[in-house]
Amino acid sequence: MSAHPFRLAVESADGAWIEITPQRPEPVRRFRAPTLRDAADHAARSPGAAFVDLDVYLADTVAAAFDGLARLRPGWTPGAVTATVVHAGTPSTLAGLLWDMWAAHVADGVTLRSEAPEALAHTVATAVIPLLTARGLAVESGSAAAVA
């Protein structure tokens, strides 16, 4: 079912980022956008592979994720437009968003950013990628073992 690849990366605590799907030799242009529409427009103009940043806060429930992110970012509310697309939710809702981004060709890939990047990388490798695979999106893991 995967007609085009979708690539995932996680930003590390030092600001570097590690692609957890197989890396390709082409240069990648990373960018931030306030909405998915803006991200798709930006990626469409990119001459090469384009990865949109996605700020992620995961918890066991969506309500707990909303509360947790609001504590980290006073003034943040669900639906608020920020400089970077934000997802506060569960591994399942993150998988749903990533699948939608892939299906809509929003970007070639996503760089996931979190206050706890190691935990996020582990959750992506052990929960999110299997959920994407179950939806029919074959996501190969590349260097995920090194990140998780």
- Sequence ranges of the domains in the chain: 24-90
Give the pLDDT confidence score for residue 22 in this predicted structure: 77
Q: Which residues in the chain come in under a pLDDT of 50? A: 1-2, 144-148
The answer to whether the beta carbons of residues 22 and 140 sit under 8 Å apart is yes
The amino acid at 108: D
Instruction: Compute and round to an integer the Cα radius of gyration of the chain.
Output: 14
Give the pLDDT confidence score for residue 140 in this predicted structure: 64
Q: How far apart are CA 55 and CA 122, in angstroms?
A: 16
Helix (H, G, I), strand (E, B), or coil: what is residue 99? helix
The amino acid at 67: D
Q: Is 98 exposed, middle or buried (0-12, 13-18, 19+ CB in 10 A)?
A: buried
Confidence (pTM)? 0.89
